[in-house]
Structure 1
């Protein structure tokens, strides 16, 4: 799973508690003992409980119940609970709730997308794009991992993905494909992915030796043509379908036999609806 640094945990706390909790201070309840518990109002895939535990630790809260990220829990079931001073409980309340709601929302959407796709194509892999909400990448990636997907690319440094925006500088796709054998020799431990704009370009890229052909905004019928051509002629290559794939059409795209589905929609939507119960001991 994704690891948050100590400074990132501190920053999450500092955003909500820059100095102290004025309300708890004025009410003079800070030293009273209490519990904080979390449950969902609907079925969710839990995400970010590990970070919540680390926040609890910062405030000397004792964890009474813990559920790992990636666990599916039914409505109303308490999946995280801690005990300690009221001052600490109120300081961690919204920080942890926000983490859980956003992370679990992404994880739950992702699990649903994965289940829909694999119900018609058990071998398909769901991967997500770099289009995360700015400054929220770690919780987005942790969410999709908890939901059963993988990141398509975590950044520009570790993968070779050639877009039309690259090939234009070489004179177009055909000139790029001429360079493909030498390019693959330079990165023998990497897969080389080429994005194309038509079925015909997909055929050309496969013939040139692309390890993965990424097809963006193709219809399911066009995807199927590329998949069938690949299976007949280049079975070791992979086809990745991207662009506009979501819960409403993922089964249709998965049923084409495509190897990889690339999507962004898992990141965006309603957060999980998580109930926080705070009680004095």
Structure 2
């Protein structure tokens, strides 16, 4: 089931971007008032996302959905129908590419994220996949919908609600001990988990001893993660950097039950086939 829908204001902006002064071709051909229908189908296997937005884009221009609309997060086989819209040709052509492209990009993210989740949970049902904030600027809400539909979660929705200490932060702390830095963070943000990204085993052991809740291991090999987990089994480990469906199980098997990935944002869109035909 879809976790939320993009607001009408965003959808209106998408439509305006594609046709700021209307559809010149449809207008010039004088076919705008003729009735028709538009059918969206999965061209290949996919986890669909954005179907609710596609439906709403149509409704904003007077189109009506016919039959059931497949919910975001549903895994579909090739050829499966997602959505059918009916109305006048002007609205059909106006909505067509915006609805199609939005679903294609979001379904690409959702399918990639779902594949990582599946691989991780086959290794351990307790594993979690979290997706970074490395989505294309300006697309956060849409990208987060795709991530959530896939069964993954946001890694960091924003800098304002998460604590993640990087080496770039520590460069400004001088000789301050890890325990003192963490104590200051806990006083300021008592309800937040303290996450520290570490680059070496020595750093990891220091920050674990200081009380870090989670250690983020950037571009560590599964073998290196496994060695660390055996030394500090009570500390939660998050594997990050290059995590994908092909290596997710290997990381989970080392004890890193949190997988941090940006891969879904760079996945190829999942093609959505569209047919537009006149109604008799």
Q: TM-score range by the shorter chain?
A: over 0.9
**Secondary structure, in 3 states, of the residue corresponding to 1:56?**
helix
The residue aligned with 1:98 is 101
Stretch moving more, 178-187 or 44-53: 178-187
Q: Give, in whole Å, the separation in 2 of the partners of 1:162 and 1:176.
A: 11
TM-score (norm 2): 0.94
The residue aligned with 1:189 is 191
Decide whether the 8 Å contact of 2:131 with 2:262 is kept in 1: yes
Deviation at 1:2, TM superposition (A): 4.4
The residue aligned with 1:37 is 39
Deviation at 1:134, TM superposition (A): 2.2
Deviation at 1:177, TM superposition (A): 3.2
The residue aligned with 1:210 is 212
Decide whether the 8 Å contact of 2:47 with 2:73 is kept in 1: yes
The residue aligned with 1:72 is 75
The residue aligned with 1:123 is 126
Deviation at 1:168, TM superposition (A): 0.9
Decide whether the 8 Å contact of 1:2 with 1:141 is kept in 2: no
Deviation at 1:176, TM superposition (A): 3.5
Deviation at 1:88, TM superposition (A): 0.5
- Matched residues, number: 276
Q: Give, in whole Å, the separation in 1 of the partners of 2:184 and 2:42.
A: 53
Decide whether the 8 Å contact of 1:40 with 1:77 is kept in 2: yes
Stretch moving more, 240-249 or 82-91: 240-249
Q: Give, in whole Å, the separation in 1 of the partners of 2:169 and 2:192.
A: 18
Deviation at 1:254, TM superposition (A): 1.7
1:18 aligns with 2:32: no
**Secondary structure, in 3 states, of the residue corresponding to 1:134?**
coil
- Deviation by residue 1:242-281 (Cα, 9 ceiling, x = unmatched): 1111233222112212120101111112100110011111
Among 235, 242, 249, the residue aligned to 1:251: 249
Among 238, 241, 244, the residue aligned to 1:240: 238
Deviation at 1:206, TM superposition (A): 1.1
Q: Give, in whole Å, the separation in 2 of the partners of 1:176 and 1:207.
A: 9
Q: Give, in whole Å, the separation in 1 of the partners of 2:239 and 2:246.
A: 15
**Secondary structure, in 3 states, of the residue corresponding to 1:169?**
coil
Among 256, 270, 277, the residue aligned to 1:279: 277
Q: Give, in whole Å, the separation in 2 of the partners of 1:5 and 1:31.
A: 28
1:147 aligns with 2:150: yes
Decide whether the 8 Å contact of 1:104 with 1:143 is kept in 2: yes
- Extract structure 1 runs of 4+ deviating beyond 6 A: none
**Secondary structure, in 3 states, of the residue corresponding to 1:170?**
coil
The residue aligned with 1:266 is 264
Q: Give, in whole Å, the separation in 1 of the partners of 2:255 and 2:165.
A: 23
Q: Give, in whole Å, the separation in 1 of the partners of 2:201 and 2:117.
A: 26
1:201 aligns with 2:203: yes
TM-score (norm 1): 0.94
Q: Give, in whole Å, the separation in 2 of the partners of 1:176 and 1:274.
A: 51
